[in-house]
Amino acid sequence: MRRTYLGEFEEVVLLMVAILDGQGYGATVSQELEGQTGRQVTFGTVHNTLIRLEEKGFVTSALGGATAERGGRRKRLFSITAAGSRALQDIQQLRSQLWQLVPLHTLQLGGA
């Protein structure tokens, strides 16, 4: 089976979708990413990433109910799939393994 890799931004967007647990849409994912990481992101970048993650099978989306605050428009809510969950677990395991291989003195602050 061919493995699909995630870029760093795709990973944090997918993590945020998992955190929001089915209540994430473009604007909330953008806001939460900025709040949690301090990283400024544009709605368009997040939206395109969500669509790409859906194409890869890592998230699914469904239209939520129409709201007056959105002028009667419906939100596209994103949820993580089993494949997305596996991808995040694989990444977490790989990163953990790599961190274990870093010699302690390599990351010490101070004189070089």
Dump pLDDT digits (tens) for 56-98: 999 999 998 777 776 777 889 999 999 999 999 999 999 999 9
64 occurs within a structural domain = yes
CATH number at residue 62: 1.10.10.10
111 occurs within a structural domain = no
Domains in the chain, number: 1
Q: Which stretches within the chain are classed as H helix? A: 8-20, 26-37, 43-55, 82-101
- List C-alpha distances in Å: 108 to 65, 75, 77, 83, 104: 52, 47, 43, 37, 7
18 occurs within a structural domain = yes
109 occurs within a structural domain = no
Q: Which stretches within 38-75 are classed as H helix? A: 43-55
Q: Is 92 helix (H, G, I), strand (E, B) or coil?
A: helix
Q: Could you list the residue range(s) of the whole structural domain that residue 21 is in? A: 8-99
> Quick check: 109 pLDDT over 90?
no
pLDDT at 1: 45
Side chain identity, residue 3: R
31 occurs within a structural domain = yes
